[in-house]
C-alpha cells in the first residue's frame, strides 16, 4: 500500500505549491522550472494573504518529488534545494530534478542528451476519446517518430538506483518466482507482498462479481520480469525491473489491446472507441490502483493488458482529485 507523511506535511510545500509554470500538467516535452527569487516572492505573498486556498499544482517539481518520497518511504528521502535545483536522495545519492530528467550530479553536464520522465497523475477514470486537430496530429506523429528512431532516451540512473538490477546478470539474480492469479511470473522481490494483497482483493471481489470471475477464467498467461526495452523506444521497459505485469487473455473477443497493434487496422488508432478495446473490470483496475499500480488502459498510448507499479502517479492522482 502507499504510505507517507501526507501531501502537505512539509511547510516547504505549503509555501511552494504554486511555483511551477504550466497549468495543463507535465507533458513529455514541456519544461518546469523554479527560481529561488520566485520562491521568496511566493513566500511573501502567502504570508500576506493566508485566507486564499492552497492550490495543488501537480506539475510542480516540489509536489512531484514529494510524491516520490511518499510513494517510496525510506527509499527516497530529503527533498531540498541543492546547487540551485530541487533534489532528493536515494541511499544518500542526490538526484536532481533537472527539468524532469532526474539526474545524478555526474550527469548534469550531459542533461541535453536525455529526455524527461513522465509524471502525469493517474486519472480517476478512463479518459474520453480525443479528436485531434491537424496541429496535434503533427505533434503526435513527431513524438512517435522520435520514439521509433530511439531519440527518447531517459537517464537510467534514477530507476536503477531505486530498484537495482543494473544489468541482465544482476536482474536475473534479483527477481523471484511467484504464482499470481494462477500464473507463474518473476517479479522484483519488493513487490511480493504488494501483489499478494492485490491477488487477495481480486479473488475476494470475484466471489461477488460474475464479471470479475469471467475475466479471471479468461486469463491464459501472464508476463512480468522480462529484460527488454520498451517496443519502439530507447528506454528500458519496467518489465526489466520486474515491476510491470501483463495479464494476457485467452480470447480478446475481437477487441484491440495495444496501440502499436491497432495502428495496423486503424488510421486514427488513438481514437479506437472504448467499446472496441479489450477491457479489464473496473473493480480490478481500482484494486490495482489501491496498491500503487497504474493501468495502461487509461493511457493515450493504450495498453489494455498492462499494469505497472508507479505509486507516485497514483499519489499525484489523489492530490489532483482532492484539489
Per-residue pLDDT tens over the stretch 177-231: 999 999 999 999 999 999 999 999 999 999 999 999 999 999 999 999 999 877 7
| Lowest mean pLDDT across 14-23, 278-287, 305-314 | 14-23
Beta-carbon count within 10 A of 192 CB: 12
- Give the DSSP letter of residue 237: P
> At residue 20, does pLDDT exceed 60?
no
- Bridge partners of 306, per DSSP, are 246
> At residue 57, does pLDDT exceed 50?
yes
Beta-carbon count within 10 A of 124 CB: 13
232 band by pLDDT with thresholds 50, 70 and 90 = low
147 band by pLDDT with thresholds 50, 70 and 90 = confident
> At residue 142, does pLDDT exceed 50?
yes
Task: Round to whole Å and give the CA distance between 86 and 60.
Answer: 11
Per the prediction, the chain carries an average pLDDT of 85
Q: Which residues fall within 8 angstroms of residue 169, CB to CB, at 6 or more apart?
A: none
- Bridge partners of 247, per DSSP, are 222
pLDDT at 53: 59
> At residue 24, does pLDDT exceed 50?
no
- Give the DSSP letter of residue 317: H
Among the listed residues 63, 120, 57, 125, the one whose alpha carbon sits nearest the alpha carbon of residue 97: 63
Q: How far is it between the farthest Cα atoms of the chain?
A: 62
Average pLDDT over residues 294-323: 94
**H-type alpha helices, the chain:** 11-16, 36-48, 61-71, 134-148, 157-163, 168-174, 192-206, 210-217, 259-262, 282-290, 311-322
| Lowest mean pLDDT across 1-15, 110-124, 142-156, 165-179 | 1-15
Q: How many CA atoms lie within 13 A of 204 on its CB side?
A: 7
Question: Is 228 within 8 Å of 240 (Cβ atoms)?
Answer: yes
The total number of residues shown for the chain amounts to 323
The label of the residue with cell 505509486 reads: 311
Select the more confidently predicted residue: 217 or 48: 217
> At residue 2, does pLDDT exceed 70?
no
The label of the residue with cell 522550472 reads: 33
Per-residue pLDDT tens over the stretch 103-126: 999 999 999 999 999 999 999 999
Residue 220, C-alpha cell as written in the block:
491464459
Per-residue pLDDT tens over the stretch 236-285: 899 999 999 999 999 999 999 999 899 888 989 999 999 999 999 999 99
Q: For the chain, how are helix, strand and coil distributed in percent, rounded to 5?
A: 40, 15, 40
Task: Round to whole Å and give the CA distance between 25 and 222.
Answer: 33
pLDDT at 228: 81
Per-residue pLDDT tens over the stretch 75-96: 999 999 999 999 999 999 999 9
Amino acid at each position: 500500500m502507499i504510505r507517507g507523511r501526507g501531501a502537505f506535511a512539509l511547510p516547504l510545500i505549503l509555501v511552494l505549491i504554486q511555483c511551477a509554470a504550466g497549468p495543463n500538467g507535465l507533458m513529455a516535452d514541456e519544461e518546469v522550472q523554479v527560481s529561488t527569487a520566485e520562491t521568496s516572492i511566493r513566500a511573501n505573498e502567502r504570508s500576506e494573504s493566508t485566507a486564499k486556498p492552497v492550490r495543488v499544482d501537480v506539475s510542480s517539481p516540489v509536489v512531484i518529488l514529494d510524491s516520490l518520497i511518499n510513494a517510496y518511504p525510506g527509499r527516497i528521502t530529503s527533498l531540498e534545494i541543492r546547487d540551485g535545483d530541487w533534489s532528493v536522495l536515494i541511499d544518500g545519492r542526490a538526484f536532481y530534478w533537472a527539468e524532469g530528467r532526474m539526474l545524478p550530479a555526474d550527469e548534469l553536464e550531459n542533461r541535453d542528451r536525455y529526455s524527461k520522465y513522465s509524471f502525469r497523475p493517474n486519472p480517476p477514470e478512463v479518459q474520453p476519446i480525443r479528436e485531434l486537430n491537424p496541429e496535434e496530429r503533427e505533434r503526435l506523429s513527431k513524438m512517435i517518430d522520435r520514439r521509433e528512431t530511439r531519440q527518447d532516451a531517459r537517464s537510467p540512473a534514477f530507476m536503477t538506483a531505486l530498484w537495482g538490477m543494473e544489468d541482465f546478470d544482476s536482474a536475473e539474480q534479483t527477481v523471484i518466482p511467484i504464482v499470481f492469479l494462477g500464473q507463474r511470473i518473476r517479479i522484483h522481490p519488493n513487490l511480493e507482498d504488494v501483489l499478494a494483497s492485490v491477488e487477495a482483493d481480486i479473488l475476494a471481489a470475484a466471489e461477488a462479481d460474475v464479471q470479475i470471475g469471467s475475466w479471471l477464467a479468461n486469463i491464459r498467461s501472464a508476463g512480468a520480469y522480462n529484460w527488454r526495452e520498451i517496443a519502439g523506444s530507447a528506454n528500458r521497459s519496467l518489465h526489466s525491473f520486474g515491476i510491470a505485469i501483463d495479464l494476457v487473455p485467452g480470447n480478446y473477443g475481437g477487441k484491440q489491446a495495444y496501440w502499436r497493434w491497432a495502428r495496423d487496422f486503424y488510421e486514427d488508432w488513438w481514437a479506437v472507441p472504448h467499446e472496441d478495446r479489450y477491457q479489464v473490470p473496473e473493480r480490478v483496475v481500482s484494486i490495482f490502483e489501491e496498491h500503487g499500480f497504474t493501468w495502461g488502459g487509461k493511457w493515450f498510448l493504450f495498453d489494455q493488458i498492462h499494469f505497472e507499479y508507479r505509486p507516485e502517479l497514483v499519489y499525484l492522482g489523489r492530490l489532483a482529485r482532492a484539489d
